[in-house]
């Protein structure tokens, strides 16, 4: 039995690879001639089975009988109910059907889809156990899986599997010595470490004891096989209660805070000689306050007369003379050689000269020690422009050898340890942002959602007028950026909080498929069965959307590649059960 299971599973894998599993069923066309090594009558029977939706032999099923009547030999494929287990985070699965059956069961780590045949004492039964890791919906492999069964009368049975020929599908062969209801414990170690419980699996003394009931399958269910799910990016999410906040969306920009940036301009007309500027700072380079940015040699003459460099030298000379004059006046006054008014006049001249010098020196940011020898050599005819603050060069207009005019911008430097997020709110939405203190945003190229609060942010400005050009209202948030995660100049999408709703039913927005103005989702009913469900939505928040009708808590909806399930529902050749175990 196990050999048959493995062989047929490999054949199915090859067929899926050849026909394109991502297409959710392939079309042969009316005029096509596809031979699969079967007689014409067999092909007609197989086609009839596909149209009836019963082409999936289950473990322990009589294949010849399946070909004759196209019916399942088991009573019903069941999607068992589940409830939350507070201690383990798993959901209990209870088998309620008789005879053969199917179980779908989720824990926090793993999804189980298990099919088993009608089990009779003394006859080998092969289980088809599909195991999926929920973190990435990958089929389990390289894992040790132990299947332990115990009946209410104390009978026990256990088997361990370490290898699989098809990732995700384990096929333990079990032979029971005693009839009864068995509880199955599945223990997984490897890709995940998890334990699942399935209760009430029936084992009979003979075939005559098996109930002869048969439950019709729901014709509205859509089949999307495990092999197809594993072959594409796929995911589901449990419908759950969440706290959602209604938001207003706005465009935004990361910019330097106004008090943490500066433009360094040429204080006088001059030239940036290549010979003296071999290591000019570049955009992105970090500089400390006072570091040399460029060496500027003054022009011989500016348009307005004396150039700025000459003004600096004159100011320094006037300060030196005023300082010497004040000291002389102090000595003469102590000897009563001059009146007090002369001393007072010397003090005023000194203060005027000092103020003029300090003003010029603040603008030029030169090293005064180098000016002592100004004019004595060619090297002395230069001024080093210094960084006014510690930060990053964000713009550079300097090229070695260029001549500059007084006031011409050379660099823009900014300290990006704290930045501004400037949001532009559409004028039509301004009435909804009465409380704009809480917001979140995403920057281009980064899927992470940043909360303003987590970046030690705060709202520092709210405009009180609408910009006439773009019809927006501006909000400015100040953010901590010591980790340099927010590059200056990056655009962003800003979500500004408004009203909050607690304990609403919610699903990821990616689960929604819009059709003619309505929203549908695909509910994961059981391992390979899905149901299309129309829903009505409410508020949206941080990638989640409120569901006001159509779903219940605990259901699972497809959140990734739901469109592939939709394509499977449109395929006329998609079988209800299309692979063999």
Q: Do 174 and 113 share a domain, yes or no?
A: yes
Other beta carbons less than 10 A from residue 180's beta carbon: 17
Q: Contact at 8 Å (CB) between 535 and 519?
A: yes
Tens digit of each residue's pLDDT (9 = 90 or more) over 432-481 = 887 788 889 999 888 888 999 889 999 999 888 898 888 999 999 999 99
CB 129 within 8 A of CB 159: no
HEC secondary structure over 77-127: CCCCCCCECCCCCCECEECCCCCCEEEEEECCCEEEEEEECCCECCCCEEC
Query: 3-class SS at 470?
Result: coil
Whether residue 514 is found in the same domain as residue 466? yes
- Residue 143 Cα distances to 190, 198, 324, 372, angstroms: 4, 20, 90, 79
- Of the candidates 408, 436, 463, which is a domain's last residue? 408
Q: Which of 381, 408, 435 is the last residue of a domain?
A: 408
Q: Which residues contact 171 (CB under 8 A, 6 or more apart)?
A: 2, 5, 6, 9, 59, 126, 127, 128, 129, 161, 581
Backbone conformation region of residue 281, classed left if phi is above 0, alpha if psi is from -120 to 50, else beta: beta
Q: Is 382 helix (H, G, I), strand (E, B) or coil?
A: coil
SS3 sequence of 256-269: ECHHHEEEEECCCC
In a domain, 527, yes or no: yes
Asked if residue 577 is part of any domain, the answer here is no
Whether residue 261 contacts residue 413, with contact meaning beta carbons closer than 8 Å, is answered with yes
194-203/93-94 β-pairing: parallel
* pLDDT per residue as tens digits for the range 105-153: 999 999 999 999 999 999 999 999 999 999 999 999 999 999 999 998 9
What are the pLDDT digits (tens) for 414-438? 988 889 999 999 998 888 887 788 8
User: What distance in Å separates the CA atoms of residue 361 and residue 406, rounded to the nearest whole number?
Assistant: 15
Residues 6+ apart with CB under 8 A from 131: 110, 111, 112, 139, 140, 143, 145, 168, 170, 188
What are the tens digits of pLDDT across the range 141-160? 999 999 999 998 999 999 99
- Total tally of structural domains belonging to the chain: 3
Assign residue 6 the CATH number of its domain. Answer: 2.60.40.1930
Domain identity same for 230 and 242: no
Q: Is residue 522 part of a domain?
A: yes
Is the same domain home to 16 and 157? yes
Average pLDDT over the chain, rounded to whole? Answer: 79
Dist CA 452 CA 437 (whole Å): 9
Q: Tell whether 568 is covered by a domain.
A: no
Predicted pLDDT at 363: 53
Q: Which of 388, 408, 428 is the last residue of a domain?
A: 408
Please indicate, yes or no, if residue 350 is contained in any of the structural domains. yes
Same-domain pairing of 393 and 455: no
**Bridge partners of 530?**
222, 524
Cα separation, 495 vs 244, whole angstroms: 13
The answer to whether residues 63 and 171 belong to one domain is yes
Residue 98 is predicted with a pLDDT of: 59
Q: Any idea of the CA torsion for 426, 429, 431, 433, to the nearest 10 degrees?
A: -90
Same domain, 103 and 131: yes
CATH number at residue 250: 2.40.30.170
User: CA-CA distance, 211 to 75, in Å (whole number)?
Assistant: 8
Domain identity same for 245 and 229: no
H helices of 284-394, in order, are 308-334, 340-364, 368-371
Tell me, yes or no, whether 572 lies in a domain.
no
- The β-bridge relationship of strands 383-386 and 286-287 is unpaired
Whether residues 42 and 189 share a domain: the answer is yes
114 and 156 co-located in one domain: yes
Is the pLDDT confidence value at 287 over 80? yes
Gap between the Cα atoms of 245 and 449, Å rounded? 15
**Is the model's pTM score more than 0.75?**
no
Classify residue 306: in a domain, yes or no. yes
Render pLDDT for 353-390 as a digit per residue (tens, 0 to 9): 888 887 766 655 554 555 454 544 445 556 788 888 88
Let me know if residue 565 belongs to a domain.
no
**d(Cα 531, Cα 524) in Å, to the nearest integer?**
7
Confidence at residue 198, expressed as pLDDT on a 0 to 100 scale: 95
- Taking the C-alpha atoms of 476, 481, 487 and 488 in order, what is their torsion angle to the nearest 10 degrees? 40
- What is the C-alpha end-to-end distance of the chain, expressed in Å? 10
- In a shared domain, residues 61 and 170: yes
In this structure, the answer to whether residues 421 and 519 fall within a common structural domain is: yes
Domain that residue 516 falls in: 238-255+417-560
Q: How many contiguous H segments (helices) and E segments (strands) does the chain have?
A: 8, 34
With a cut of 60, say whether residue 295 has pLDDT above it. yes
């Amino acid at each position: 039995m196990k050999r048959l299971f493995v062989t047929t599973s490999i054949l199915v894998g090859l067929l899926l690879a050849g026909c394109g599993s991502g297409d959710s069923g392939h079309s042969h066309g009316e005029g096509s001639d596809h031979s699969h090594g079967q007689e014409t009558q067999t092909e007609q029977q197989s086609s009839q089975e596909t149209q009836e939706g019963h082409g999936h032999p289950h473990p322990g099923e009589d294949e010849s009988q399946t070909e004759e009547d196209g019916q399942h030999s088991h009573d019903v494929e069941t999607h068992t109910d589940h409830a939350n287990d507070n201690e383990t985070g798993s959901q209990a699965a209870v088998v309620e059907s008789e005879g053969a059956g199917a179980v779908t069961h989720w824990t926090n780590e793993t999804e189980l889809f298990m099919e088993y045949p009608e089990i009779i004492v003394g006859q080998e039964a092969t289980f088809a156990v599909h195991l999926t890791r929920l973190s990435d919906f990958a089929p389990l492999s390289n894992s040790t899986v132990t299947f332990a069964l115990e009946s209410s009368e104390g009978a026990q049975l256990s088997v361990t599997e370490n290898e699989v020929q098809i990732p995700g599908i384990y096929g333990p062969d079990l032979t029971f010595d005693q009839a009864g209801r068995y509880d199955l414990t599945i223990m997984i170690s490897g890709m995940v470490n998890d334990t699942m419980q399935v209760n009430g699996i029936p084992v009979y003394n003979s075939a005559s004891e098996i109930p002869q009931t048969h439950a019709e399958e729901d014709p509205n269910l859509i089949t999307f096989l495990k092999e197809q799910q594993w072959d594409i990016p796929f995911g589901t999410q449990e419908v759950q209660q969440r706290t959602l906040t209604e938001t207003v969306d706005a465009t935004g920009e990361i910019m330097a805070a106004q008090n943490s940036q500066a433009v360094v301009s040429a204080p006088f007309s001059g030239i940036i000689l290549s010979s003296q500027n071999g290591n000019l700072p570049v955009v992105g380079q970090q500089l400390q306050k006072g570091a040399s940015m460029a060496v500027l040699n003054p022009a011989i003459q500016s348009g307005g007369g004396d150039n700025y460099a000459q003004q600096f030298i004159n100011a320094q000379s006037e300060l030196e003379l005023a300082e010497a004059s004040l000291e002389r006046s102090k000595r003469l006054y102590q000897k009563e050689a001059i009146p007090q008014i002369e001393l007072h006049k010397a003090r005023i001249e000194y203060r005027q000269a000092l103020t003029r010098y300090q003003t010029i020196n603040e603008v030029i940011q030169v090293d005064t020690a180098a000016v002592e020898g100004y004019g004595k050599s060619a090297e002395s005819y230069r001024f080093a422009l210094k960084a006014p603050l510690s930060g990053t060069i964000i713009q550079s207009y300097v090229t070695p050898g260029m001549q500059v005019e007084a006031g011409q911008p050379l660099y823009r430097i900014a300290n990006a340890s704290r930045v501004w997020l400037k949001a532009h709110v559409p004028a039509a939405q301004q009435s909804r942002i009465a409380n704009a203190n809480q917001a979140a945003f995403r920057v281009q190229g980064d899927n992470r959602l940043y909360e303003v609060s987590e970046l030690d942010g705060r709202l520092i400005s709210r405009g009180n007028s609408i910009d006439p050009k773009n019809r927006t209202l501006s909000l400015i948030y100040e953010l901590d950026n010591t980790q340099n995660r927010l590059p200056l100049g990056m655009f962003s999408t800003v979500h500004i909080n408004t009203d909050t709703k607690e304990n609403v039913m919610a699903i990821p927005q990616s689960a929604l498929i819009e059709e003619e103005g309505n929203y549908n989702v695909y509910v994961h009913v059981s391992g390979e069965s899905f149901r299309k469900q129309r829903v009505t939505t409410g508020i949206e928040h941080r990638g989640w959307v409120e569901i006001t009708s159509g779903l219940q808590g605990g259901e699972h909806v497809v959140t990734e590649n739901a469109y592939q399930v939709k394509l499977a529902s449109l395929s006329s050749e998609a079988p209800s059960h299309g692979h063999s175990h």
